[in-house]
Structures are given as C-alpha cells and as structure tokens.
C-alpha cells in the first residue's frame, strides 16, 4: 500500500480503479514558412474553430453546472480574441516567418509565464487558461478533433492538472474523483469539481505513470489522501466512513420542511448564496428559506458588454418568480479586485483589493448603477426582493445611494412601471463599517456581514495567499468581537442582521453566532440542511463574551 497526500478541493470518499490522464505531448517544431499569408489564414481558421468549440463547451456547462461556472468558457473566448495575444502570434508569423503552430505554442508559453509570475493569486490562475486555449489551437492546427479523454468505466482520474475544458467534457457518471499534481482550491477546475459534487485533491505528489495507472485506489477527501492498493484494514475503515456519511446525508434530507428553531424556541433564517439562475434549483432542493446573496456581478462577468436593463430584469424576474415569495437579496455589482471586466476599462492598480471596486464604481458611474437598480426594482413586482450594497465605509455613501434609489423610484412611477416594497441593506465587510455600524443602522433595513472580506481587511492578510492560511484566521477574537458589535448595533435600531460569508457555514461557530443575536445565516445551497441540523440541536445560553 502507498499513501500520497495533498490538499482537499472537495470532501468525500471515492473507491475504484485509477486512470492516469497524460496529455498528448505536442511536439511543435519550428518550421520556416515560405507563405506567411497561408499560415496567417490557417491561424484565423483555427481560431474560428476554437471559438466554435468553446461555444459548445459553454452550452454544455450551462446545462450541467450553471451560468456562473460555465462563464470560464466565455472568458476563454475573450482571451482567444485578446488583441495582445493575437497580435503576438500574427507578428511572430510575419516577422520570423514561422509556422502557425509554433507561433501559437511560443506565445502561449510566454503569456502563461507572465501570468504565473504575477503576485495576485487570481491572475496566476489565468496562466492555466492561457495554456488551455493555446493547446486547443495547436490541436486544431495539427488536425486533432474531439475529446482526448474518453472514459469507458468509472475511475479515479489522476492528472498533472486539468483544464476547465477537459473537466466539463468528461462523462460525469464515469468520474469517481479528481486527483491532480498541480492546481489550487481557487482554480476553475476545483470550483467545477465542487459544483459537480466530485471528491477532489490537488498538490498531490503522485507519479503519472504505469506504477499508478490501472491500480485500485481510495481517495479520502476528508484527510487529503489517496491510497494506492489499500490494505484491507484501511479499505474497511474508509468504506465504513463512506457509509456513515451516506447515513448522515439521508438523515439531513429528513430535515426538509422542518423549522430552523433552537431547542429553546428561537427561530433563525437559513438562506442560500447563488451566482446565477441555474443555482436556484439547488436552493429549492435543499429547502433554503430564501436567497441571502445573489452575486449579480456574474451577469457582467459573463457578458462582452454592459448587460442592458432588460437583460438584467429578465434574470432577476426569473429568480424572484421561482422563489415563489421567499426572500431574494440581490447584491449590487461587486467587481474590481479579483473580478475584472474588460469593457469597464479600469486602470491597473497596485492593490486592487483596496481600490476601485464595488459600490465605489457604482457611485462613480451612476448610469451603470441606475440601470441595475431599475432592473431590480422592476423584478420586485414579481416576488420578495431586497437589495444590499457592498464595500460600504461611510454614512455619506449610504445617503448618496438613497438619493439615487429615490430617483429610480420616481422615474418608474412616472413611467407607470410597477415595483414592490424593497428592503434596503448594506454589507458590513470593512472594519470602518463595523466600527460605525451604530450610525449606519439608522439608515438601512438590515445588515449582512461579509466575513470573507471582513477577515482579510481586519487581519491585513490576503485570504487567497496560501502562505497566510494560519494568519488569516476567521476565529480570531477581533473578528468575533466585530461581529458581536455589528449585531448589537443593528438590534438597538430594530433592524435584522445576517452573515453571508463562508463563516456562516462554520458549524463550530453556529452557537456563538446565535448567542450574539445573528438573525440569518446564508450559506452554499448544499450546506443548508447541515446548518439547520446544528440550529435545531442548539440551546442558547449567555451571550458570547
């Protein structure tokens, strides 16, 4: 028996035969091109075919994993048509008189290396995307068609890394688990794996050869291990754990329809976080009481231009109608930092996490903000819709938002367009907002605490930097004190307060949050029933000290 350890991207246990996926080593030779025009034409044809393939992948992913996760293939299309990338390839063909495949491969290597050297974690992840689109182009130029990864039986898939396009082409019924040598928990492949509920490990130092291929294995996603030809004792232990997890899940399903009430009678709302209309099915399936965070920025990230009022309205309306009266809280546009949109034409920043993002963009570009607000207000006539505004740091910002909202309401009234009674809330995710939450509470209907950003801003530590995992501690006393302060200030003014960051699903803190007076927790749809179970087992005591 051999044991290989790594990091967990998605928990779970999978047992079966191991399949090592080795990408074709595309040996690209530099060849002199007598006819550069012909090579340029071949490149343009290959680019067109690649765009067609990516459109097909987007449509396939849309059906299987929803809009938010399918968006990577639209990103790939944009990268494929990026002027710098295209110009580098065509210029190399013209000036160096080389074959198109060599120009693509060289440009891909150069751009990938540039991205991998960037300090920002998100931008480093784009190196894999550049490699993916370049390999696709080279494959088309070489005459290869179809998927290179056809599976004939259920397997544990082991690879150096998996590009999103490779992952989405897989027959999901035949993949028991993913194990990769490289990658990260923030890569698109890891996100897709979590969405598909496929156990996944990354940074596993496992050989990609015949010593592994075809052998029996067990992936333990709870402890970040893969066992090669496991001993009977280990197999029995993990199979027992797997059976126990299935039993727990079956018990959780029995909680559907039950109330979120503590042993001593206190009710708490448990909502779900979503990124697209495609996620609503999971919200309903897991019996969430509403949507506590609709990340509207994905409408912008998935578009090649500013989404129109009508386009946004149709999406918000569908979500509101599908939730059938349950609350839908839409967060206004939150781009910037690691979520860049090319057509916004924003200048590069030294520290984008502390820069021009979220509400700062909206207040600086009110025409964009008003378009979104009009769409949300129109959709509010079809359900129970609330709005919350991200990255607030001052009372003045909230006052300015109220002025713009008033203008939008007046416009809709004059045009005789119906709209509902829309709750106004803000996200508390900066230390500034937390410390003046007593003043902010007088201005709004609710608070939603964004713990992901609150943690990194309070502890001055980038939550995506793996070197800072121990420092970026969401259980830090400073974080818990701020959450209690926010809750106390909210209740003094008679407004409710929720948590929509990942900390809301931390079951070790559920009792603490309830004792602080938190009224609502918004978590990933698949975690709703686990949080409900914890709430129903909790008896409240003295408030957290």
Is residue 335 within 8 A of residue 362, CB to CB? The reply is: no
Q: Which of these, 362, 363, 378, 371, lies nearest to 308 by C-alpha position? A: 371
Q: Where are the beta strands (DSSP E) in 242-295?
A: 269-274, 290-295
Annotated binding site for Mg(2+): 429, 453
Q: Which of these, 532, 489, 534, lies nearest to 508 by C-alpha position? A: 534
Q: Give per-residue burial for 13-26: e unless 16+ CB within 10 Å, then b.
A: bbbbebbbbeeeee
Gap between the Cα atoms of 209 and 227, Å rounded = 16
Catalytic residue among 76, 188, 362, 472: 188
Q: Give per-residue burial for 512-537: e unless 16+ CB within 10 Å, then b.
A: bbbbbbbbbbbbbbbbbbbbbbbbee
Q: How many whole angstroms from its chain centre is CA 449? A: 18
Gap between the Cα atoms of 138 and 103, Å rounded = 9
Gap between the Cα atoms of 77 and 55, Å rounded = 8
Catalytic residue among 76, 362, 472, 500: 500
Residue 472 falls in the annotated catalytic set? no
CA angle 48, 50, 55 (to 5 degrees): 95
Instruction: State both tokens at 277.
Output: 């209309």
210 exposure class (CB count in 10 Å sphere: 0-12, 13-18, 19+): exposed
Residue 188 falls in the annotated catalytic set? yes
| Helices 232-253 and 528-536, packing angle to 10 deg | 80
Annotated binding site: 295, 331, 429, 452-453, 463
Q: Which of these, 500, 537, 454, 494, lies nearest to 271 by C-alpha position? A: 500
Greatest C-alpha distance within the chain:
83
Catalytic residues: 188, 500
């Amino acid at each position: 028996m051999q044991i290989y350890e790594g990091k967990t991207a998605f928990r779970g246990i999978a047992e079966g035969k191991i399949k090592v996926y080795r990408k074709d080593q595309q040996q690209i030779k530099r060849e002199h091109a007598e006819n550069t025009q012909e090579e340029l034409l071949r490149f343009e044809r290959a680019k067109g075919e690649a765009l067609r393939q990516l459109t097909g992948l987007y449509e396939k992913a849309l059906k299987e994993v929803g809009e938010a996760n399918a968006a990577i293939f639209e990103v790939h299309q944009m990268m494929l048509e990026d002027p710098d990338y295209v110009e580098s390839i065509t210029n190399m063909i013209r000036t160096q008189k080389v074959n198109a495949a060599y120009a693509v491969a060289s440009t891909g290597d150069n751009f990938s290396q540039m991205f991998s050297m960037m300090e920002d974690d998100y931008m480093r992840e784009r190196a894999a995307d550049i490699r993916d689109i370049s390999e696709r182009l080279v494959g088309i130029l070489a005459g290869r068609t179809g998927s290179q990864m056809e599976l004939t039986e259920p397997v544990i898939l082991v690879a150096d890394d998996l590009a999103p396009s490779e992952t989405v082409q897989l027959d999901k019924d035949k993949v028991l688990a993913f194990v990769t040598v490289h990658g990260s928990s923030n890569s698109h492949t890891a996100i897709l794996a979590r969405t598909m509920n496929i156990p996944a490990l990354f940074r596993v130092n496992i050989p990609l050869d015949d010593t592994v291929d075809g052998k029996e294995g067990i992936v333990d996603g709870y402890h970040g291990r893969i066992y090669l030809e496991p001993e009977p004792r280990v197999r029995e232990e993990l199979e027992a754990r797997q059976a126990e997890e299935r039993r727990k899940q079956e018990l959780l399903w029995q909680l559907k329809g039950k109330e979120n009430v503590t042993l001593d009678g206190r009710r708490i709302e448990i909502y779900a976080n979503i990124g697209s209309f495609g996620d609503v099915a999971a919200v309903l399936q897991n019996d969430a009481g509403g949507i506590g965070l609709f990340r509207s920025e994905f409408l912008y990230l998935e578009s090649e231009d500013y989404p129109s009022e009508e386009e946004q309205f149709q999406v918000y309306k569908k979500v509101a109608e599908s939730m059938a009266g349950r609350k839908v809280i839409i967060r206004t546009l939150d781009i910037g930092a690691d979520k860049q949109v090319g057509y916004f034409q924003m200048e590069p920043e030294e520290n984008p996490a502390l820069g021009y993002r979220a509400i700062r963009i909206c207040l600086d570009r009110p025409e964009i903000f008003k378009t979104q607000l009009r769409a949300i207000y129109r959709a509010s006539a079809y359900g129970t819709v609330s709005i919350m505004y991200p990255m607030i740091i001052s009372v003045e910002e909230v006052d300015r938002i109220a002025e713009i909202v008033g203008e939008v309401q007046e416009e809709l009234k004059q045009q005789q367009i119906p709209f509902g009674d829309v709750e106004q809330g803000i996200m508390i995710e900066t230390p500034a907002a937390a410390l003046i939450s007593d003043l902010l509470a007088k201005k709004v209907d609710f608070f939603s605490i964004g713990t992901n950003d609150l943690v990194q801003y309070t502890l001055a530590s980038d939550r995506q930097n793996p070197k800072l995992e121990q420092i970026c501690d969401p259980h830090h006393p400073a974080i818990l004190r701020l959450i209690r302060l926010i809750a106390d200030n909210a209740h003094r003014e008679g407004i409710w307060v929720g948590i929509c960051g990942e900390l809301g699903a931390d079951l070790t803190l559920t009792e603490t949050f309830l004792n602080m007076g938190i009224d609502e927790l918004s978590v990933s749809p698949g975690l709703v029933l686990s949080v409900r179970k914890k709430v129903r087992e909790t008896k409240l005591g003295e408030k957290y000290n």
